[in-house]
Amino acid sequence: MWSDKETSEDLLGYTVHSSLLKSVITNEKNLPITVGLYGDWGLGKSSILKILEKQLEEDGDAVVVYFDGWTFEDFDDAKMALIQGIVDALEKNQKFIPKAETTLQKFKDQFSKLKNSINWMRLLKFSVKGIVPVATAAVTGGVSMIIPTLLSAIKENRDDLSNILSEENAENFLRETLCSEDEEKKYTAVRDFRKDFEKLIEDSKQGKIVVLIDDLDRCLPRHIIDNLEAIKLFLNVPGTAFVIAADKYIVSNAIKSEYKEIIEAASEDRPNLGDSYMEKFIQLPYTIPTLSPKEVETYVTLLFCQSILNKESFDKVRNDFTEFVSINKFDRYGWTNIQTILKDNLPENMGETIGFFSLFSRIIGNSLRWNPRLIKRFLNAYEIRVRLLEQSGINDSKSKFALLKLMLIEQKFIDQFKQLNTWVMSSIDSPKELIDIEKYANAETNDIADYKDWNSPDLLQIVRTEPKFSSVNMRELFWVSRDNIIDEMSGMSLISSRVKALFNKAYNATTDPICKEYCEKELSILSVVDLHDIFDLLDAKILLNPKDKKAYTIYYFCIMSEIPNAYNRLLSILSRIDVSSIPFSLGNKFKEILLKFAYDKKLQELISKNKPLMNSINGK
């Protein structure tokens, strides 16, 4: 089994990316700089950050602060949570503070001053937007109502703020700040913090820091923006570098979600506001390239080495791979390389296993969206099913390899997977249909008229590759695959718990307005990969129960919110079910969808067999 958490152990050749980023962010001529490390969920952004962190700490080129934006998601004030977290991390970092006794007190005073500034900014809720309402209240005479509220907050947080104020001093400060006509005073805390933060870095042992920010795209849209603004407004001073790992699509959509009214009011010829906004904060965008078939083959090979070999042997392979990939960036690292480095110290059947998986590296990559995390999860699912087979007394390589073939069909060709299951369970011996398809796959016959759905190059490659399905006990293989037969969908175990939680929030919405708001604000900012999984979960609900109003309602609000591919996915699932089961009470929703797509003939044809629904749509 393999963990799909981020790691500094590089099995993807990602050191080349981290080394490039390191050369940029440690060059003093480039500072300050903010780098956007972009990639889909599961593509390896967090792992690159971990590798980069390890490189920086080993070389001592800078003081490193690793900040997980998701950890502070529950904080109302995301800006201050980020700033406080970075200051606290620097204060605890022995590589940052000089050891000389004469400077220790100086640094304590500097940190104390910074913390005081943070407390004041948190108290007054200083932000680009936060200052304006306070200033407006002062001008309109509302300050007398604001001060008691802020004083109450001071009393509640006395333990945190006792170093900088008493109740009397607090009230004097608030009145002086809020009632002053000098707007400059209202920004003093921000300016002073920047100056003091810059001075602290300048006086430190290293003179520069690198802040690695992970999981920004998992935060709420408002918090994503707050974190970006905090970096730009407070922390982007000489000697600093920020590397922000995120899905660009999600961040851009979060920005568009927060500024929806501005976007709707803008002219159509204006550039994408989300992307334009990000360009203000990110000086260097760096996108992780998608894995190639050779890289998938190498990755799967190394994962099996990690699983099969002892630590000493695997370390030799990993070190050899690191050296290999530094010279051969576009070539595969395979069984020949492993034999060369380990010679005769190789476990039995290891070469057979790696060789068989390498045959399907392109299909594995394509089926799993060339995504390292999904590939790991697929292999974990395979390992679990192999163990189930072993519990049934089936230990031969032929059955285990046939199981892999079946899982690839299950993952990419779910309809053919279910069809094959029906044939196998309806026959004592190998079903005639399967034997016919195997003959066609091996060019023993040209007749495939009855099985046109199987006429796919990838599907036929899986069928014809030894071992043949007809040579193993397919009933046993389907028994260990029964979870997907029951759920009537592919890849459910590969969907992340985060996406499942998002889906459940929409599915369990108690009213249409709540569901609508959730689709508009939460689902609309998801990446293409996450949306694919959301639609898979919706399809599973509908396949199991074509009368499921909630699932159709989510599809409806996704379509009306113009979430990419929602309409096409609805058409696809409607083509796979008995549409006469769709409740007629959904008529108004389907009518609005028809209106939105100018009474698209495809949708009309699909639902035309449901007369009650059509009557409801037509107002009869």
**512 pLDDT band (50/70/90 cuts)?**
very high
**425 pLDDT band (50/70/90 cuts)?**
confident
Q: What is the mean pLDDT of residues 513-525?
A: 90
Is the Cβ–Cβ distance between 286 and 19 less than 8 Å?
no
Residue 454: predicted pLDDT: 92
Question: Which bin fits 598, alpha (ψ -120 to 50), beta or left (φ > 0)?
Answer: left
49-63 pLDDT, tens digit each: 999 999 999 888 789
**298 pLDDT band (50/70/90 cuts)?**
very high
Is the Cβ–Cβ distance between 293 and 301 less than 8 Å?
no
Helix, coil or strand: residue 288: coil
Residue 157: predicted pLDDT: 46
Q: What is the mean pLDDT of residues 531-547?
A: 87
Residue 129: predicted pLDDT: 40
- d(Cα 86, Cα 93) in Å, to the nearest integer? 11
Q: What is the mean pLDDT of residues 372-384?
A: 89
Helix orientation angle between 497-507 and 512-521, rounded to the nearest 10 degrees: 150
- d(Cα 386, Cα 52) in Å, to the nearest integer? 36
Q: What is the mean pLDDT of residues 360-386?
A: 89
* 339 C-beta neighbours (distance < 10 Å), count: 13
Of 239-243, 394-398, 491-495, which gets the smallest average pLDDT? 491-495
Is the Cβ–Cβ distance between 484 and 410 less than 8 Å?
yes
Of 122-126, 562-566, 592-596, which gets the smallest average pLDDT? 122-126
Residue 403: predicted pLDDT: 94
* Domain parsing of the chain, residue ranges: 15-97+204-287, 101-199, 293-487, 497-617
Residue 126: predicted pLDDT: 43
Residue 198 scores a pLDDT above 80: yes
Per the structure block, which two tokens stand in for 597? 């797509």
* 465 C-beta neighbours (distance < 10 Å), count: 17
Helix, coil or strand: residue 132: helix
Q: Please name the residue that has the structure tokens 């100018």.
A: 598
Is the Cβ–Cβ distance between 26 and 61 less than 8 Å?
yes
Architecture of 15-97+204-287 per CATH? 3-Layer(aba) Sandwich (3.40)
Of 171-180, 299-308, 345-354, which gets the smallest average pLDDT? 171-180
| Average pLDDT of the chain to the nearest whole number | 82
Of the candidates 39, 4, 42, 3, the residue with the CA atom closest to the CA atom of residue 21 = 39
The HSE-up count of residue 457 (CA atoms within 13 Å, CB side) is: 4
Q: Please name the residue that has the structure tokens 């007394």.
A: 393
Residue 184: predicted pLDDT: 54
- d(Cα 211, Cα 70) in Å, to the nearest integer? 15
Of 149-153, 168-172, 283-287, 441-445, which gets the smallest average pLDDT? 149-153
Residue 283 scores a pLDDT above 80: yes
Phi and psi at residue 276, to the nearest 5°: -65, -40
- d(Cα 390, Cα 408) in Å, to the nearest integer? 20
**485 pLDDT band (50/70/90 cuts)?**
very low
Residue 275 scores a pLDDT above 50: yes
Of the candidates 77, 197, 183, 196, the residue with the CA atom closest to the CA atom of residue 131 = 183
Is the Cβ–Cβ distance between 17 and 288 less than 8 Å?
yes
463-482 pLDDT, tens digit each: 999 999 999 999 889 888 76
- d(Cα 540, Cα 570) in Å, to the nearest integer? 12
Name the pTM for this structure: 0.73
Residue 271 scores a pLDDT above 70: no
Residue 455 scores a pLDDT above 80: yes
116-143 pLDDT, tens digit each: 888 777 766 543 344 434 433 433 344 4
β-pair partners for 212: 66, 243
Q: For 271, which DSSP code? A: P
Sign of the Cα pseudo-torsion (282, 285, 286, 291, in order) = positive
Residue 82 scores a pLDDT above 80: yes
Phi and psi at residue 523, to the nearest 5°: -70, -30
Pairing of strands 284-287, 209-214: unpaired
Of the candidates 279, 12, 1, 230, the residue with the CA atom closest to the CA atom of residue 121 = 230
Identify residue 99 by its one-letter amino acid code.
K
Of the candidates 482, 457, 352, 467, the residue with the CA atom closest to the CA atom of residue 404 = 467
Residue 143: predicted pLDDT: 42
**102 pLDDT band (50/70/90 cuts)?**
low
